[in-house]
Amino acid sequence: MIDRLNRRVAELRNPSIVGLDTHLMLLPAAMAERVDHADPMGSAAALILEFNKGLVDAIADIVPCVKVQVAYYEQYGWQGMKAFCETLAYARQKGLITIADCKRNDIGSTASAYANAYLGRTPFPQGEIASMDADFLTVNGYLGSDGVLPFVEACKTYDKGIFVLVKTSNPGSGELQDRSLGETTVFETMGDLVQAWGRETLGETGYAAVGAVVGATHPKQGEILRKRLPEVPFLVPGYGAQGATAADLSGLFDARGFGAYVNSSRGIIGAHKKSGLPYADAARDAALAMAEDLRGALSAVGRMDY
């Protein structure tokens, strides 16, 4: 799957991801007003799915991947989770690679169950059935190998991928992740573990199926990790609404312009709030502008071979 993602990035000349962090208050007012107060959760979930489908239709030919953040769907109960699953399925149907942003983690059989749910197959007496069937999943690695290896096994079995939290974009990440461990730091140590976990998953394009979440808001740490982890792909949140620019991020890519996938959520799916355009048109314009921004930044430093 990591090879498919890299090839799609090259085909589109675009290493960006659109985050579908969709909630009712982000919808156009006329759409949000259609909530049925006799069934608020169900109707809200249906409207969110409708909104997402419009977004996917608008961007499917210009971005390689979407990231669907589960928390925004969980808050609408089981109906929201149904919209989450149907959003993943619709994006996949339209040819997009999908990331389930769930930051799952546990140990042993529980981790295996999470891996089955999001990446693999759920066992039944008659066989196995795919559930969420995302292409990638975000994983919290701070329980160590016990909490990550079941996901790695799913990656190997089903040609999927994971992104493990390493240096996250939130301001408080340094409280733990920047702490010194002798001659290294917590985030560097976690990065080393990620590289070790992915060694048996290396693809033809030079990257492993086990990647790292590296926040765009910490470019210096990102550059350290890029040099330290040459085979580890980075999922990079924090562009746009969180303050990071394309110029900040060139050091997270390799010399060819691969190795990092930059996510923007609110800046794209909420673009209609500022532009006044129909939401799908506004999202497409914002996605095109982001792609051009990233291409320009990479070209300026000679890091774009596609």
Catalytic residue among 67, 103, 160, 167: 103
In sequence order, which residues have a C-beta less than 8 Å from that of residue 161 and are 6 or more positions away? 1, 2, 5, 135, 136, 137, 155, 201, 209, 210, 211, 233
C-alpha closest to that of 144 among 114, 189, 100: 189
103 as an active site residue: the answer is yes
Euclidean distance between CA atoms 87 and 31, whole angstroms: 18
Supply the DSSP string of 42-109, one letter for each residue. HHHHHHHHHHHHHHHHHHTTT-SEEEEETHHHHTTHHHHHHHHHHHHHHHHHTT-EEEEEEEE---HH
Task: Give the residue numbers marked as catalytic.
Answer: 103
